[in-house]
Amino acid sequence: MAKSDLFAGYDAGENYCELFGRAGGEAGANPLAKRLAKYKLRTLNQRNKSAERELHNLGITFTVYSDAGAIDRILPFDPLPRQISSADWKILDRGCVQRIAALNAFLADLYGKQKILKDGVIPKDLVLGNKGFRKEMMGIKLACNTYVHICGVDIVRDETGEFRVLEDNCRTPSGVSYVIENRHLMMRSFPDLMEGVRIMPVSDYGKRLKGKLLETAPPRAPNPQMVLLTPGVFNAAYFEHVFLAREMGVSLVEGRDLTVDDQDRVFMKTVNGLERVHLIYRRVDDDFLDPEVFRKDSLLGVPGVMRALEAGKVTLANAVGAGVADDKAVYAYMPRVIKYYLDEDPILKNVKTYICREKDDLSYVLDHLDELVVKPVGESGGYGIVVGPMATKAEIAALRRRVKRNPKNYIAQPMVHLSVCPTLAKDGVRARHVDLRPFVLTGKDSWVLPGGLTRVALREGSLIVNSSQGGGSKDTWVMR
């Protein structure tokens, strides 16, 4: 079957296509493609503009920081959904649950007996010298041994169609609000496209999140109360903080709204007096969380909250010090971590990673900079990444100097030809690269939100999907 007019100019090249499969797939092979093929390009554009206006009117924005100041933007929305089969989802679900189990076991060991370091599975200085490692957490016992309550696992699909983990986000992963709002947008803007299609729901995330967090509340709290701690309105993800507090039905607070008494109990200040708090879902970074322990000049945190944690009178989600587990250099050792704690092979493999702090890897990276994707260990949001095959000679030379000067700050990976998805562009439907961020919630056990955030690189040829670098998002349909 020839492709419809809508897909006439669509070419995935040698990339795996999320709609048509491997190169050469046709529109007739997928029921969703058949449905999409009935739309005129003009109709898609009109509905998409309406959806983006709605995002703006609802205040669904994030903040981009630049030399010119802070700019609020909507996350561009693409109306052509990304589809995941039930068979593929089973693999992703199992792989994410396995990975989080290993990450939590690693953190519990790291802040306990440190057996993995004594056994030489991971270099000791790589972990103990990492800025995400918090010695203040040593010996503190956490409910359910859960350090990573909410994790966003960044996953890509290579040209063969195999899923691979690109990164773990164990500190304060963001983006889940877009997963839910994207689904709501599709239901309002494209009810005809969704009619009769059996898609796994995402709207119960708030209920699930609250339930999983409360499983890790201090054990002696008969009716545990929780709050969501935000840095405030100027934070890039403030919309999401408001959204999640509303979805869970809990109070959104800033540091100044909480206080710790001389018995190490946390209270929220209200018009009716002090109310006890047992669990804090925090969106404030470690450094700013408690000025008694970390940055003395922080006005965002709660003085004494680490005392309350140590006394077992409050739970912090995610745990302080969880960030060491999502370090890009530690990531390279995750297959060994999974084997060490679970005695299993990874269900979801890593992308091959070269650690520039290791002599042989550094030598290889310096010899192949024009073939590799080089990432600074301490950055997030796509900042600092150099895609060797797309870089100029001057950019490669500058990168070489930076890596030589501070090799511990860099890792490198071969360029993965990320899968593509049909995406609405100015000149029609075109192939654009995508990744996937499933969100995993962990209390006594783990649950994975069906689908997750599909980010799309809207610029032609770009492999960087981050919103701060010009990326957008799609609704993700996990088929029943």
What pLDDT is stored for residue 93 in this prediction? 98
What pLDDT is stored for residue 70 in this prediction? 54
Q: Would you say residue 329 lies in a domain?
A: yes
Which CATH number is 120's domain given?
A: 3.40.50.11290
CA geometry: angle 319, 320, 324, nearest 5 deg = 100
Mean pLDDT of 64-75: 59
| 243 lies in the same domain as 384 | no
d(CA 417, CA 159): 6
What pLDDT is stored for residue 106 in this prediction? 98
Answer whether residue 379 shows pLDDT above 90: no
| 258 lies in the same domain as 358 | no
| 311 lies in the same domain as 358 | no
What pLDDT is stored for residue 449 in this prediction? 98
Q: Would you say residue 375 lies in a domain?
A: yes
Q: Would you say residue 316 lies in a domain?
A: yes
Q: Would you say residue 79 lies in a domain?
A: no
Look at strands 69-74 and 420-425 and give their pairing: unpaired
| 311 lies in the same domain as 372 | no
| 333 lies in the same domain as 405 | no
Q: Would you say residue 264 lies in a domain?
A: yes
| 261 lies in the same domain as 395 | no
- The length of the chain in residues reads 480
Mean pLDDT of 194-217: 96
Look at strands 453-457 and 471-478 and give their pairing: antiparallel
Mean pLDDT of 43-54: 88
Answer whether residue 27 shows pLDDT above 60: no
Answer whether residue 1 shows pLDDT above 50: no
**Residue 228's beta-bridge partner residues?**
252, 281
Of the pLDDT bands very low, low, confident and very high (cuts 50, 70, 90), residue 65 is low
**Residue 13: is it exposed, middle or buried by C-beta count within 10 angstroms (0-12/13-18/19+)?**
exposed
What pLDDT is stored for residue 457 in this prediction? 92
| 149 lies in the same domain as 127 | yes
Domain final residue pick, 314, 342, 370:
342
Domain final residue pick, 368, 386, 414:
414
Q: Of 287-291, 414-418, 445-449, where does mean pLDDT reach its minimum? A: 414-418
Q: What percent of the chain has pLDDT over 70?
A: 93
Question: Which residues in 284-427 belong to E strands, given as ranges?
Answer: 315-317, 349-350, 354-355, 372-376, 386-387, 410-414, 420-425
Mean pLDDT of 284-289: 97
Mean pLDDT of 307-335: 94
Between 27 and 14, the more confident residue is 14
Number of domains in the chain: 2
| 322 lies in the same domain as 393 | no
| 344-to-2, 164, 341, 386 alpha-carbon distances in Å | 45, 17, 8, 33
| 395 lies in the same domain as 311 | no
Q: How many CB atoms lie within 10 A of CB 135?
A: 9
Q: What percent of the chain has pLDDT over 90?
A: 74
pLDDT tens-digit readout, 459-475: 888 877 877 667 899 99
Domain final residue pick, 371, 390, 414:
414
| 147 lies in the same domain as 214 | yes
User: Do 272 and 228 form a contact (C-beta atoms < 8 A)?
Assistant: no
Of the pLDDT bands very low, low, confident and very high (cuts 50, 70, 90), residue 223 is very high
| 237 lies in the same domain as 338 | yes
Answer whether residue 59 shows pLDDT above 90: no
DSSP SS3 for 251: strand
| 224 lies in the same domain as 265 | yes
Residue 288 has, within 13 A of its CA and on its CB side, a CA count of 15
Q: Would you say residue 469 lies in a domain?
A: no
Mean pLDDT of 213-227: 93
- Per the prediction, the chain carries an average pLDDT of 91
What pLDDT is stored for residue 382 in this prediction? 62
Q: How many CB atoms lie within 10 A of CB 381?
A: 15
Q: Of 238-242, 367-371, 416-420, 460-464, where does mean pLDDT reach its minimum? A: 460-464
Q: Would you say residue 29 lies in a domain?
A: no
d(CA 83, CA 477): 5
The CA R_g of the chain, rounded to the nearest whole Å, is 23
Helix (H) or strand (E) holding 330: helix 328-331
Answer whether residue 58 shows pLDDT above 80: no
Which CATH number is 372's domain given?
A: 3.30.1490.270
Which domain does 369 fall in, by range?
Answer: 352-414
Q: Would you say residue 246 lies in a domain?
A: yes
